[in-house]
Amino acid sequence: MNSKTGGLTPAVRTRSELLQQVTAWKQAGERVGFVPTMGALHGGHLSLIEKAKEKATRIVASIFVNPTQFAPGEDFDTYPRDEEADLAKLASVGCDLAYLPTVGEMYPEGSVTNVRVEEMSDLLDGIYRPHFFYGVTTVVARLFLHVQPDVAVFGEKDYQQLQIIRRMVRDLGFPIEIIGASTARDADGLAQSSRNLYLKPEERRNAGAMQQLFTGPRSGSSPANRPPPPWRKPARFWPGQGSGRSTMSPWSIRTRFRTCQTHPCPPAQSPGCSAPPGWGARA
């Protein structure tokens, strides 16, 4: 285990080293909190550490860019990585241990077992990235087995992910308390994200403007009655309709999805729901 020198949080890279430390803490009566990350840490991640400290006496953060949640052509190879900077940031908020496993440690050769939360993983983000939650639940389940925390903290920024993790923990009986932490935002309201580093200055300004459009002063009309943002065309059809791929914008998903609180709709269709019959049902 790396020692806490030069202002860096100690780090371990194997499950056996991690288990040795966590076991010692638990034998001493400590409560272990866990925050899983993919690195490129920012204020949002650090706020999760602070939240975990409210619920536990020892904090472990993992840094692992998980290959199973990236599809071919996505940014796995270019995802921001800066291990030393991340360890320094973890030390600044009092994180006790960083777990930095290799791909081989997380997915031993010959591994064929995966975890999938049915139905919930097929809505919203799952429509456009059907591989994503499959990879997330698989790696989080494995991390839970490695870290064996008493409590784990996830950001509400990824709200669908948070709910899927909660359902997985309930269904599989993990003895772990799942805590949702509020979204950390920049001054203009944009949610902090590692991928914000990809944005050019103009793109970053537009992203902040989009957040203001969603949450700015109301003009008296409901969100569902306002026009879509000028940089996006209105949706022409719902996912599953027609012969092409959905052109539904995030604006349309946000406003139309909340017209029905019970998606996926039952065959009788929920009263007042604007979605076509069967929307959300698995093929």
Q: Which of 45, 131, 146, 263 is catalytic?
A: 45
3-state secondary structure 49-118: HHHHHCCCCEEEEEECCCHHHCCCCCCCCCCCCCHHHHHHHHHHCCCCEEECCCHHHHCCCCCCCCCCCC
| Annotated catalytic residue 45 | yes
What residues contact 15, with CB distance under 8 A and at least 6 apart?
A: 101, 105, 146
**Active site (catalytic) residues:** 45
